[in-house]
A and B are shown apart, each in its own frame.
Chain A
Amino acid sequence: MELVLRHAVFLLRGAYYTLNITVVSMTLGFALGLVIAMMRLYGPGWVRGLARGYVSFMRGTPLLVKVFVVYFGLPDIGIRLGPLVSAYTALTLDAAAYLSETFRGSILAVPRGQVDAALSLRMNRRQTMTRIVLPQAFRVAVPPMGNTFIGMLKQTSLVSVITVTELVRSAQLLIAQYFVVMPFYIAVALMYWVMSTLFQIGLDRVEARLARAY
Chain B
Amino acid sequence: MPAPTDPAPGTRQPVVCVEGLRKSFGDLLVLDSVDLDVAPHESIAIIGPSGSGKSTLLRCIGGLEQPDAGKITIDEFGLDASLPAREVRAAVRSLRGRCGMVFQSFNLFPHKTAIENIMEAPRVVLGDERDALVARAEALLDRVGLADKRDEYPSRLSGGQQQRVAIARSLAMNPRVMLFDEPTSALDPELIGEVQSVIRDLVSDGLTALIVTHEMRFAAELAREVVFMDAGRVVERASPETFFSDPETDRAQRFLRRIGDGSSLRSPADAPRPAGGTPR
Instruction: Report which A residues bind B (CB closer than 8 A).
Output: 111, 113-114, 116-124, 127, 131-132, 135-136, 139, 210, 212-214
Residue B133 at the chain A interface, CB threshold 8 Å? no
- Hey, which chain A residues are within 8 Å of B105, CB to CB? 111, 113
Whether B110 lies near A136 (C-beta < 8 A) is yes
Residue B99 at the chain A interface, CB threshold 8 Å? yes
Task: Give the contacting residue for B107; candidates A116, A127, A139, A210; CB below 8 A.
Answer: A116
Residue B120 at the chain A interface, CB threshold 8 Å? yes
- Hey, which chain A residues are within 8 Å of B109, CB to CB? 114, 117-118, 132, 136
Instruction: Report which B residues bind A (CB closer than 8 A).
Output: 62-64, 93, 96-97, 99-101, 103, 105, 107-113, 120-121, 124-125, 153-155, 166, 169-170, 173
Task: Give the contacting residue for A119; candidates B96, B100, B124, B169; CB below 8 A.
Answer: B96
The secondary structure that dominates the A interface is helix
Q: List 8 A-B contacts (CB under 8 A).
A: A117-B101, A117-B166, A117-B169, A120-B170, A121-B125, A213-B113, A214-B153, A214-B155
* Minimal Cβ-Cβ distance residue in A for B96: A122
Whether B64 lies near A127 (C-beta < 8 A) is no
* Minimal Cβ-Cβ distance residue in A for B104: A113
Whether B107 lies near A117 (C-beta < 8 A) is yes
Whether A213 lies near B124 (C-beta < 8 A) is no
Task: Give the contacting residue for A123; candidates B99, B101, B124, B154; CB below 8 A.
Answer: B124
Q: What's the nearest-Cβ distance from chain B to residue A207, in Å?
A: 14
- Hey, which chain B residues are within 8 Å of A121, CB to CB? 96, 120-121, 125, 169-170, 173
Whether A120 lies near B155 (C-beta < 8 A) is no
Whether A117 lies near B103 (C-beta < 8 A) is yes
Whether A119 lies near B63 (C-beta < 8 A) is yes
Q: How far is the CA of A131 from the CA of B123 in the complex (A)?
A: 12
- Hey, which chain A residues are within 8 Å of B93, CB to CB? 124
